[in-house]
Amino acid sequence: MEEQSVVPAPSDGPAPAARPSVRPGDPSAAPAGAEPARLPSATRFPGAAVSWVGAHGGAGCTTLARLLGGADVGVRWPDPARGEPARMIVVARTHASGIQAASSVLDALRTAAPAPAAEAAAVVLVADAPGRLPAELARRVRVLGSVATVHRVPWVPAWRLGTRPGQPPREVLALADLIGPPA
């Protein structure tokens, strides 16, 4: 069974406009003329399990799933037939292409209805480097925040080394409150 990719494959040329993984005529696509889905707030899903969806490879889904639980589905939509929760958290890095990939995933959710039950609970942006974001990237994060709940996870040197930090950052602990106990 072929998995649907959330993000387009990389190319040697300039990045094409992101295309949703759902093609016209796909039974999971929204009917013609259907109203675009609104992205719900995180508070709509208290206590449910989540699927961690990477907006791009290396976003941090596996690390967050190991720390907090939930299904790490990589860069594809969750599949409830596999027991993966339709409630998803989109994960991306804070570099320009990561933020753009998160935006593309949110747009695909809004316009293509990738799966009938898929809903984004939040976007988690994992720092790609220590320190503050450049102003241009901070503006892009604010734009994302205008359409979805955005949580930021700081740079954690231990994760780069493949080890667990003694105490997870408070921002990660806040995510534990967001996802609630396992279903």
The Cα 168–Cα 145 span in angstroms is 24
Whether residue 23 is predicted with pLDDT greater than 60 in this model: the reply is no
pLDDT at 127: 96
pLDDT at 75: 94
pLDDT at 137: 97
Please write the tens of the pLDDT for every residue from 121-162. 899 999 999 999 999 999 999 999 999 999 999 999 888 888
Whether residue 21 is predicted with pLDDT greater than 90 in this model: the reply is no
Average pLDDT, the chain: 75
The Cα 168–Cα 86 span in angstroms is 26
119: left (phi over 0), alpha (psi -120 to 50) or beta: beta
Global pTM?
0.72
Q: Which of these, 50, 41, 23, lies nearest to 145 by C-alpha position? A: 41
Over residues 26-50, the mean pLDDT reads 40
pLDDT at 179: 77
pLDDT at 96: 97
Q: Report whether 55 contacts 75 (CB < 8 A).
A: yes
